[in-house]
Amino acid sequence: MLSFILRRLLIAIPTIILISIFVFSLQKFLPGDPVLAMAGEERDPETIAFLREKYNLNDPIPVQYLSWVGNALTGDLGISLRTNQPVLELIGQKLPVTIQLATMSMIFALLIGIPAGILSAIRKGTITDYVANIVALSGLSIPNFWLGIMLILLVSVKWQLLPASGYVPFDQDPLRSIQVMIMPAFVLGTALAATLMRHTRSAMLTVLTSDYVRTARAKGLTERRVILHHAFRNALTPIVTLSALLFGELIAGAVLTEQIFTVPGFGKLVVDAVFNRDYAVVQGIVLVTAVGFIVMNLLADIAYVLLNPRLRS
Amino acid sequence: MPQAADPMTVDAESLNDPVLDRKPENRVWKKFRAHRSAMFGGTLVAFFVAAAILAPVLPIPDPTATDWAAVRQAPSSVHPLGTDEIGRDVLSRLVWGARASLLAGVVSVLIAVAIGVPLGIAAGYFRGWIDAVISRCTEALLAAPFLILAIALAAFLGPSLTNAMIAIGISATPLFVRLTRGQVLSVAAEDYVESARAIGLPTHKVLLRYILPNTLPPILVQATLTIATAIIAEASLSFLGLGQQPPAPSWGSMLNTAKNFLNQAPWMALWPGIAIFLVVLGFNLLGDGLRDALDPREQ
Amino acid sequence: MTAIRLSLAAALLGATALGAGAQELRIGLNEDPDILDPDQSRTFVGRIVYTALCDKLVDITPELELIPQLATEWSWNDDATQLTMQLREGVTFHDGTPFDAEAVAANIDRSQNLEESRRKSELTSITNVEVLGDHEIRFDLDTPDATLLAQLADRAGMMISPTAAEEAGADFGLEPICSGPFSFVERVAQDRIVLEAFPEYWNAEEIMLAGVTYLPIPDTTVRLANLQSGDLDMIERLAATDLAAAEGDSSITVERATSLGYDGMTFNVGNGDRADNPFGADGKLLRQALSAAIDRAAISQVVFNGVTTPGNQQYSPESPFYAADYPVPGRDVERARELLAEAGYEDGVDLEVQVPNDPVNQQVMQVIQSMAGEAGIRISLQSKEFATMLADQTAGDYTASLVGWSGRVDPDGNIHQFMTTNGGINDSGYSNEEVDRLLNEARQTNETEERKALYAEARGILNEDLPIVYLWHDTWLWALSDRVQGFVPYPDGMIRLEGVSLAEN
């Protein structure tokens, strides 16, 4: 097991190096001068020249890249050109927000997606199955930024039930924190619930036609027991694996949702940073996201091995 | 390692039945015809495609014709879906906007296929260092979130519909590289490919005659589903101001404007969203239907 | 993280200890401010936060008269090259450092010499600073500078603690320490900036709030919805299109003030090769034609619900410096066609305009596009992100640009650097000796009437040449919960919290 993890980590290294080179070179070619954006309305040439020097923007790009990598290895991801805050600190501030959002979406998606998937599988071919499938596909097809706008319009503006935006740290006021995040979590979780439902359904279908379920039925166990104890437990492996993978994607999927609901998380940070040409922030975020993505993949693999006794050896 | 089980990707093995490979067209078409939701999806798509193509001859006003006297008017008999922030007919902009959305969906997927499939074939067939290089690059791109990548690329290229299509196309490429590579790996191990190589058939003939045709079905399914994703991605970029630019209409940019008028003119935000939803649903249903039809296991 | 929480909790406790009735005000901002260092800051929105955080030497009235803040009185010598200021006594910075003449000298030195400083160009006229006593200081100038006091009424005149500045250097903005009515508690980027009342403030009796929190919420609809739901007490830059909704809500009041800035189209008339276009170097007639083709009043009506002020000069018609001899022209399509013909373009002409990719500016440009089209000027829009647009504009890589200016208290700030040869932000590349002379002279006299005459004369030339076609002046709109009392709108768009109180629920 350990060697398996180590091997996977080693393979991840070139991937991370490649993605960092890619992002680094991409933004060096972004039109719009970051220094000009920082110099403000007045754009004083002397200030511009100084800032260029200060942020080493006159060095050749490979030199800039290497110095960035050097610093990154010591845990220094640079400072935001816009606010002077260290990038690592910014990420530290934003990550908990997005993780909370992703967790709430995930819970929502699991609560809806899995029961719906099971139901749909055991009632295969009935109207329930058909409706569940259409609803799930609709969930996948709805543009979530539009769903967000419509919810704000109805729930916040028209009915004034929930706040339209904002963020309250969970440890400060848990109830309020959850209340503020219900809408964004719902929007972000919709597609996820649909995905989970479809996978649960297909995993359940595979299991339900397998021999041991047939055996269980033949033994005269109640249908409820057959489904929950035998079928679902076996269908769980791919679902858990998938959930781990999707959690990584959720963090990325938060980009537009956070934009709509003004949630001060990761996604909003990166979009604003791209628009403000805040290079250090974009680089830092992509690096952290890529690492996170790879870690989630690894966890998914480990979960897969652990849940599959046949693969444990 | 478990396959990254994204619902929008295709299970490569399932599409590889040698029995089906011999004369599959009739059976597939028959199954597809019987697939009610797929036919419904096809109808939805056909409807929007027809609207997009027929836009110039439909009895609707010029989508860029402004009318100061009729700014942000609620739906009426003159303007069935209302007017927008500078008095243009929303219905007309919706119909013309279908062009931008469909074009963006199709073209960006074509870009992704055109780059991704040859790379996938090269990686899967030649293996070795070619495979190593291509696979590492693919993984690196896959580790960067799709939308963030597309936003960065679109910002890099400058805001326009063409650039949005390129950005989305490039961001979707790794998906096709991975799919094609996996597919080629399994096809290349088949006996008939082995024998073709054994009798000394030149590489390009092996590729064209045996490998490519057998990798196409899953790519077709994946392409259909990716069109749906690409349409949403274009709408998202336009929503952030990075896609279609005014005065030409696109659904995403209509929503971008509409969000400033939610209080006064909610209909401006309603229709483009519904249109995106329906066309994306159409492509998703179509893709699902294709997958089922091409899957020998489902009956 | 925990440390911040603790200090926040402490701050909240401290706030309640201040006494009954003192409440925390929550203000929704249009965007997230940049670095909170008056010497390095560059955004308009940042100045809103400074208004509560940092006192200046001089302040303005809503009528733009200069009044004392940290300087209690001032005088000029006869040839207007020496400005002597008396400073307020008994003032301390938030860290306890006393405010005195040495502190002012250190602040001016920092604004002029900190390498990261964005204030250098605003204080170029000061060649020497003399500390005359504990609370008396003199600025020596190389030439008379009529704009100096107005600069000292803005970021260049904001006083930060010299002790803290010394210690933090260029990182001062992470924890800014000034002498204003509120002191810094914490900042979470893109989320909130929290300030608490400073008990030792020299004018503490005017401060009725225990603290103020600024929350950046870029989406105007969402900002308003938060005000309506009671999650905010006040929002700045209410969208003109949301005015009706806000006024229709009985629990909300709307305050307004015409801004000091302008919006218009800047043409490339001499900035690099691209000035060589029909509307460029020799395109005076075509620029006049475009100006005639535009219905400025209709833009204000259609895009801004009639809230903005149509304009044709660097300041709004309400300004005392507005040259009344050149009133805002009405639309004249006939005239535009004649001018087109005179320039040799009877069959129409193409014009490419770059525009920021935000909905409001794009809406304006589409309206103009449609108006100009009727006169035979075929406009194509080139949408760019603002950062890119500005870069291209500076580099001269454009023909025309829809761009605005946030405005300055002194009239010089809206015109000199734009229209003088090689001016700091002369992206147009405009150069006219007579205009240079007039604008330089206007800068060097303190006589208002004399300045007005000089500006009017320059306006005569500029309205003929039209390197910038001015279109409208924004109106600042603030929406407030009816619990907020005592707010006074200022044309600089700032939120001054003296006298503002928040009734309890």
At B117-174, the pLDDT tens digits run 999 999 999 888 999 899 888 888 887 777 888 888 888 788 899 999 999 999 999 9
Enumerate the residues of chain B whose CB falls inside 8 A of the CB of residue A275.
155
A283 touches chain B (CB under 8 A): no
Q: From residue C494, how far is each of A89, B30, C44, C47, C62 by CA, in Å?
A: 30, 70, 9, 7, 10
More confident residue, C54 or A271: C54
Does residue C451 register a pLDDT over 50? Answer: yes
Contact B283, B227 (CB under 8 A): yes
Q: Do A153 and B262 touch (CB under 8 A)?
A: yes
Q: Cα–Cα distance between B114 and C95 in angstroms, integer?
A: 64
Does residue A310 register a pLDDT over 80? Answer: no
Mean pLDDT across B253-269: 86
Contact C113, C197 (CB under 8 A): no
Average pLDDT over all residues of chain C: 91
Please give the pLDDT value at position A41: 63
Indicate the residue type of C381. L
Residues 279-298 of B with CB under 8 A from A: 280-281, 284-285, 288
Q: Do C302 and B68 touch (CB under 8 A)?
A: yes
Please give the pLDDT value at position B17: 46
Please give the pLDDT value at position A306: 74
A309 touches chain C (CB under 8 A): no
Which of 1.10.260.40, 3.90.1150.200, 3.40.50.300, 3.10.105.10 is the CATH number of C262-473? Answer: 3.10.105.10
Residue of C219, C221, C307 best to disrupt the B interface, most CBs of B under 10 A: C221
Domain positions in chain C: 2-12+23-30+181-259+476-502, 58-165, 262-473
In CATH terms, the fold of domain C58-165 is Dipeptide-binding Protein; domain 1 (3.90.76)
Does residue A30 register a pLDDT over 70? Answer: no
> b/e per residue, A215-236, with b = 16+ CB within 10 A?
ebbeeeeeeeebbeebbbebbb
CATH architecture of C2-12+23-30+181-259+476-502: 3-Layer(aba) Sandwich (3.40)
Q: Cα–Cα distance between B63 and A66 in angstroms, integer?
A: 51
Q: Cα–Cα distance between C312 and C462 in angstroms, integer?
A: 10
- Cis, bond preceding B63 (omega within 30 deg of 0): no
Please give the pLDDT value at position A2: 78
Which of C245, C359, C367 lies nearest to residue B263, judging by beta carbons? Answer: C245
Residue of B39, B139, B256, B290 best to disrupt the A interface, most CBs of A under 10 A: B139
* % of chain C residues with pLDDT over 70: 96
> What are the phi and psi torsion angles at A86 (to 5°)?
-60, 140
Element (H, E) at A61: helix A61-73
Q: Cα–Cα distance between B178 and A164 in angstroms, integer?
A: 40
Out of A30-34, A232-236, C410-414, which region has the weakest mean confidence (pLDDT)?
Answer: A30-34
Q: Do A26 and B151 touch (CB under 8 A)?
A: no
B236 touches chain A (CB under 8 A): yes
Does residue C387 register a pLDDT over 60? Answer: yes
Contact C48, C477 (CB under 8 A): no
CA distance C5 to chain A (A): 9
ipTM over the 0.90 cut-off:
no
Enumerate the residues of chain B whose CB falls inside 8 A of the CB of residue A245.
4-6
Superfamily designation of domain A90-312: MetI-like (1.10.3720.10)
Q: Cα–Cα distance between A267 and A99 in angstroms, integer?
A: 11
Q: Where in chain A is the domain with CATH 1.10.3720.10?
A: 90-312
Strand pairing report for C23-29 and C209-216 = parallel
CA distance B56 to chain A (A): 27
* % of chain A residues with pLDDT over 90: 14
Please give the pLDDT value at position B20: 45
Q: What tens digit of pLDDT does each residue of B213-235 get?
A: 888 888 999 999 999 999 999 99
Tokens of A45: 């040439």
A275 touches chain C (CB under 8 A): yes
Q: Cα–Cα distance between B262 and B265 in angstroms, integer?
A: 6
Please give the pLDDT value at position C263: 96
Tokens of A71: 């610093």
Please give the pLDDT value at position A40: 63
- Give whichever of A5-9, C187-191, C436-440 has the largest mean pLDDT: C436-440
A82 touches chain C (CB under 8 A): yes
Does residue B13 register a pLDDT over 60? Answer: no
Query: What is the pLDDT confidence band of residue A309, given thresholds at 50, 70 and 90?
Result: low
Q: Cα–Cα distance between C449 and C452 in angstroms, integer?
A: 5
C118 touches chain A (CB under 8 A): yes
Q: What is the 3-state secondary structure (H, E, C) of B108-148?
A: HHHHHHHHHHHHHHHHHHHCHHHHHHHHHHHHHHHHCCHHH
DSSP per-residue string spanning B54-98 = HTTTSS---TT---GGGTTPPP-SSSTT-B-TTS-BHHHHHHHHH
CA distance B72 to chain C (A): 10
Q: Do B263 and C369 touch (CB under 8 A)?
A: no
Please give the pLDDT value at position B297: 53
Chain B residue with Cα closest to C382: B245
Contacts of C375 (CB under 8 A, 6+ apart): C289, C290, C292, C293, C333, C336, C337, C340
Statement: B40-57+82-294 belongs to CATH 1.10.3720.10 = yes
Mean pLDDT across C86-113: 96
Q: Do C189 and A90 touch (CB under 8 A)?
A: yes
